Structures are given as C-alpha cells and as structure tokens.
Amino acid sequence: MPPVESSTASRPSTVRRAVVTGASSGIGLATATRLRQAGWDVVAVARRADRLDGLAAQTGAVPFAADVTNDDDVERLRAFVAERGGLDTLVNIAGGARGVDRVGSAQNDDWEWMFDVNVLGTMKMLRAFLPALRAHGAGTVLNLTSTAALVPYEGGAGYNAAKFGQHALTGALRLEEVEHNVRVIEVLPGLVQTEEFSLNRLGGDRQAADKVYAGVAEPLTADDVAEVVAYSLLLPHHINLDQVVIRPVAQAANHKLIRTQPQE
Ligand code: 8X3
C-alpha cells in the first residue's frame, strides 16, 4: 500500500490529537511514528519511560510513562491529556501474549496477565477517555486485536480468549458509542514479525521466537500494520473500517502458513 499522505485523506482544520498505547516497541511505536509523520499531535504511552525517550527525540511525540492496567496511571494520563487540550483519537495497541500452553496445563499468571493487558487495559483506557471523545463530537477509537480473536488454535487458548474478549468489547463499544458519533475501528493483524511479540510469548527464548517466522517469505512488519492503522484513521470520519484483517500473503489462514525455506 502506498504511504497515506494526509493530503489524500480528510484535512481537519485543526491538528489531530491521538493517544497511542503500547508505544515503546513494535506496532505501537510504528504507529506513533507514522501519525507524527502525518502531522498529528501524539501522546505516546508505555510502561518503559526509557524506551519512550528515543521515540520522543526522533519524532516529537509526547512521552507519558503509564501502565494501562493501573487505575492511578490511567487517571494521571487522562488528566495530562485534558490539560494539553484533549484528544480526538484513542489508539489502544498495548497488549500481547504470554505462553503457548494448552488449556490442560494453563498457567494462571500468563492468563491473568493476558486478560489484564488486552481486555482490562483497553477497558480502563476507554472508560477514562470516552467522555472526552464524545465531547469532541467526532472521536475515533482504534483497538488493535488480532486474528487470534477470530479463530482459536492449539496452544493459543489464553491469548485467543483474551483477544476474543477484546474483540467482543470492541463490537459492543461500536454499538454503544454510535449515538455519540464515536467511530470504532478494529484492526486484526495476523503474523507480524516484531522485536518482542514472540520473544515475550516464548519466555525470552530467541531461537523459538525466530522459528515462528522461519522460512516465511515476507511476514508483516510493524510498519506495515502502522500504515493500515494510519490509513483507517486518516479516512474521513464518516467512513468506518469496522474490522480490518491484515495478514502476510503467505498466511492464507492462521493454520495455513507457507514457509518457502525448509525448517531445521
Ligand atoms: C498475533 C497473531 O497468529 O500469533 O496476534 O495469534 S497470532
């Protein structure tokens, strides 16, 4: 997809303002960067303040260290954004997977973490920012879920359940907020090769993480997904890409991934 220039999409008379979570790496970092390129005012949110400093220095995004699962952090963030003049767009990217255990050997910690960050974190951010998005009059929410929200797979149950939950929350939200003219977009990526997703999921095992993408001609990159996120956000507000499923061509479905090179 060619880069989306802000001139080809809606040209709001005022600068667009977004809060982007998960901005310390991967798709969140790429999205914050892409929106800054489009001239947006971006508050970039992540737990790791040191990671945000580089993004801030390189792009001019405003860093804010916060854990989206922590009520006090979310309230501090809400107040900070309100002081800066509010927002028109909330981009919930913070999330992730931990573990590939089957249901029969599920780890409480992993499941609780996945529900916390993917479902409760998204809910807490929405609960905090919906009043401002409604008051804006043409607000947008974009939730990044996953193709894991559509089809369960062996070893995916905890992540599937969390992403199915976030997906359901997103659908309910769209119905609830339409009367407030809040647009609700869901982007559902498949295989995306990022610095941390598989590494985190597989307990820091670099070899196992690399194997996830081994032999795949062109897994998606964080920049690919950020391009689609930006495209959907830059469309005029009356156009809602309800659900955008994005996969590499080599992944025709979650269970059908073409690896062109033999695996060890
Ligand atoms: C990541 C996609 O295939 O690992 O959200 O579940 S998958």
Q: How far apart are CA 3 and CA 6, in angstroms?
A: 9
pLDDT score of 84: 96
Q: Any catalytic annotation for residue 159?
A: yes
Q: How far apart are CA 111 and CA 97, in angstroms?
A: 9
pLDDT score of 263: 57
Q: What is the CA(8)–ligand 1 centre distance, in A?
A: 31
The answer to whether the Cα torsion of 147, 149, 152, 158 is positive or negative is positive
Question: Residue 67, Cα to own-chain centre: how many angstroms?
Answer: 15
| Bridge partners (DSSP) listed for residue 21 | 45
Could you identify the atom of ligand 1 that is nearest to the CA of residue 145?
Answer: 5
CB atoms within 10 A of CB 158: 26
Nearest CA to ligand 1 atom 6: 148
Could you identify the atom of ligand 1 that is nearest to the CA of residue 148?
Answer: 6
Catalytic residue among 153, 159, 213, 231: 159
Q: Is the CB of 148 under 6 A from ligand 1?
A: yes
Q: What are the backbone dihedrals phi and psi of residue 90, each rounded to the nearest 5 degrees, phi first?
A: -115, 125
Q: What are the backbone dihedrals phi and psi of residue 186, each rounded to the nearest 5 degrees, phi first?
A: -120, 125
Q: How far apart are CA 144 and CA 243, in angstroms?
A: 10
- CB-count exposure of residue 172 (10 Å: 0-12, 13-18, 19+): exposed
Could you identify the atom of ligand 1 that is nearest to the CA of residue 156?
Answer: 6
Give me the domains of the chain, ranges plus CATH numbers: 14-257 (3.40.50.720)
Beta carbons within 8 Å of 105's beta carbon, 6+ residues apart: none
Mean pLDDT per 10-residue interval, the chain, length 264 residues: 43 81 97 98 96 96 98 98 97 97 98 98 98 98 98 97 98 98 98 93 94 93 98 98 97 94 59
Nearest CA to ligand 1 atom 4: 191
Instruction: Specify the pTM.
Output: 0.93
